[in-house]
Amino acid sequence: MDKEIYFAGGCFWGTEHFFKQINGVTATQVGYANGNIENPTYEQVYTDSTGFAEVVKVAYDPKKVSLEMLLDLFFKTIDPTSLNQQGEDIGTRYRTGIYWVNSEDEKAVTKALSELQKNHEKPIVVENEPLKNFYNGEEYHQDYLDKNPSGYCHINPELFELAK
């Protein structure tokens, strides 16, 4: 049975494309999480007034890939010490975060972030919170880099190969 976890890693186009490369990831969906209005649009989220982060819902088969492996790979795509900015993307919607749906995953995320902190002098600013809400992003955002291979992405293309 698949499990799910939600990752905020800056612009969701690259984050989704990255996770789609990983063996054991069974589905991805870009959207908006942990905000304070219902059914937000991209235009509303873009204002940074709704509290939402751009996220990727990742469904995965734990028999093929562990949550710990997904976390380790995710950390390679972000600067975990950068608050509300990844690459050229700036704003609270581009914050980094991991949003979980059960306490077992909370423990794994907390442990992974603690280990990550040991490798950084600056504090880690990746959110570690329960998923409060999630709304699917608009269709044109889904699989964006598959539809637009030369589209903008803050993630180094070499990392897409690493994910495979």
Confidence (pTM)? 0.95
The CATH number assigned to the domain holding 117 equals: 3.30.1060.10
What value does the mean pLDDT take over residues 111-131?
Answer: 98
**pLDDT value for 11:** 93
Pairing mode, strands 127-130 and 96-100: parallel
Pairing mode, strands 85-86 and 89-90: antiparallel
**pLDDT value for 27:** 98
Instruction: Let me know the angle formed at the C-alpha of 54 by 53 and 55, rounded to the nearest 5 degrees.
Output: 105
Q: For residue 61, what pLDDT band results from cuts at 50, 70 and 90?
A: very high
pLDDT over threshold 80, residue 111: yes
pLDDT over threshold 90, residue 5: yes
Residue 40 near residue 52 (C-beta atoms within 8 A) = yes
Nearest to 51 by CA among 60, 70, 63, 38: 38
Host domain of residue 9: 3-163
**pLDDT value for 156:** 78
Instruction: Provide CB contacts within 8 A for 98, sequence distance 6+.
Output: 5, 6, 7, 8, 71, 74, 109, 113, 126, 127, 128, 129
Catalytic sites, residue numbers: 11
Domain count, the chain: 1
Query: How many angstroms separate the Cα of 128 from the Cα of each of 49, 107, 113?
Result: 21, 10, 9
pLDDT over threshold 80, residue 158: no
